[in-house]
Chain A
């Protein structure tokens, strides 16, 4: 049980995918202008990341490993992620139009989120079990949503602040992200993972 808790804390705070591993930086910069959209993106990513880390584990364990074609992992995982995203979109369109409207364009964008592929590949690299993979994916997604929401909130404040002209726009956003990354370094060593 402790092990599972450690995986969660480890992925959310200590080895945060965005601020420590520097994965998934494009949505982190792209959809963090408004808090509302950032939350939507976080929700969608959480769903897809958890689901895809489970499915990629199954594909790896029962298809790629027995056939000895582990070198095709990346291409197979991309296939899985793209299908999961498309499937999620179709199902969501039917079952909950409200959530579909809320997430809108962000759902298909997750296909190209490198953090999703990163989670799937890291799962195999560190030889996780099925439950561990699911937790790892879920934790990574929670960490992603957490920093995305925090960053969006900061950027909303920065937008109305008196920023010197050369720093306006992306420049101040990158500096802010760097400072957040520094802050998250404070968690290093909390969990040995």
Chain B
């Protein structure tokens, strides 16, 4: 009994060590630039840049195959962040600058076909077959991917108006990192 437990444990430890060693020995470095660009993108996976998602776009930018101004949902903030990261000149957004908007389903015209559900990259549309669909406006990123598949054109984009209940402090314009960096200098001085 004890032998059996010990033998299996020894076998498991042996293979565990082997796997641990191989994980270190054969460690594959990812593309750190692509990772960093990917973390700047809004992750809506909307495909408006012409790539099948945010990650492929980040990889294309890292390879130098694409410009940094293709991300419509990210807007100017993303372009500036990417220009900062890559040391390139910021360029104007390639897509039309749009006001932040969310999709809205006209309840009188929706036939409950579920076609828009399947196209939503962030699962912001709820509904079932032959039931009226609704949009979770908090989740909607305004990527407009649900517009083309709708057979009755019942989805429209409604601009988001800022209200007291939804107002938030804007993000700090200077990155927090720089403040942290300047502190040791002050201490040294």
A residues with a Cβ closer than 8 A to B are 59, 63-64, 67-69, 72, 75-76, 79-80, 83, 86-87, 90-91, 93-95
A75-B22 in contact (CB<8A): no
B126 close to chain A: CB less than 8 A: no
- With A79-B15, A83-B15 already in contact, the answer to whether A64 and B7 are too (CB < 8 A) is yes
Measured CB to CB, the closest approach of chain B to A61, in angstroms, equals 14
A183 CA / B19 CA spacing, docked (Å): 42
Q: Is A76 a contact partner of B19 (Cβ separation < 8 A)?
A: no
B11 within 8 A of A: yes
Interface string of B16-52 (1 = CB under 8 A from A): 0011001100111000000000000000000000000
Residue B8, interface by CB 8 Å: yes
Contact present for B18 and A76 (CB under 8 Å): no
- Set of chain A residues within 8 Å of B15, measured between Cβ atoms: 79-80, 83
B3 interfacial by beta-carbon distance below 8 Å? yes
* Chain A CB within 8 A of B4 CB: yes
Closest to A88 in B: B22
Q: What does DSSP make chain A's interface, helix, strand, loop or mixed?
A: helix
Q: Which residue of B lies closest to A92 (CB)?
A: B26
Q: Is the CB of A67 within 8 A of B26?
A: no
Contact yes or no, A86 B26, CB < 8 A: no
Chain A residues whose C-beta falls within 8 Å of the C-beta of B12 in the assembled complex:
79
Contact B11 A59 (CB under 8 A): yes
Range of interface residues on B (Cβ < 8 Å): 10 to 19
Task: List, sorted by A's number, 29 A–B pairs whose CB atoms are closer than 8 Å.
Answer: A59-B11, A63-B7, A63-B11, A64-B7, A67-B3, A67-B4, A67-B7, A69-B3, A69-B4, A69-B7, A72-B4, A72-B7, A72-B8, A76-B8, A76-B11, A79-B8, A79-B11, A80-B11, A80-B15, A83-B15, A86-B19, A87-B19, A90-B23, A90-B26, A91-B26, A93-B26, A93-B28, A94-B26, A94-B28
B19 touches A83 (CB 8 A): yes
- Contacts known (A79-B12, A80-B15); A90 close to B22, Cβ less than 8 A: yes
* Contact count A vs B, C-beta below 8 Å: 42
State whether A87 touches B3 (Cβ < 8 A): no
B residues less than 8 Å from A86 (CB atoms): 19
Enumerate chain B residues within 8 angstroms of A68, measured Cβ to Cβ: 3
Return chain A residues, CB-CB under 8 Å to B7.
63-64, 67, 69, 72
Distance of A59 Cα from B14 Cα, bound (Å): 12
In residues 150-189 of chain B, which contact A (Cβ within 8 Å)? none
* Closest B residue by C-beta to A93: B28
A91 and chain B: residue at smallest CB distance: B26
Closest B residue, CB atoms, query A69: B4
B1 nearest CB across to chain A (Å): 9
Q: What residues of chain B lie closer than 8 Å to A79, measured between beta carbons?
A: 8, 11-12, 15
Beta-carbon nearest neighbor of B12 in chain A? A79
Contacts of A72 in B (CB 8 A): 4, 7-8
Complex CA–CA separation, A91 to B8 (angstroms): 25
Cα distance A83–B13 in the bound complex, in angstroms:
11
Known pairs A63-B11, A94-B28; list 15 more (Cβ under 8 Å). A64-B7, A67-B4, A68-B3, A72-B4, A72-B7, A76-B8, A76-B11, A79-B8, A86-B19, A87-B18, A90-B23, A93-B26, A93-B28, A94-B27, A95-B26
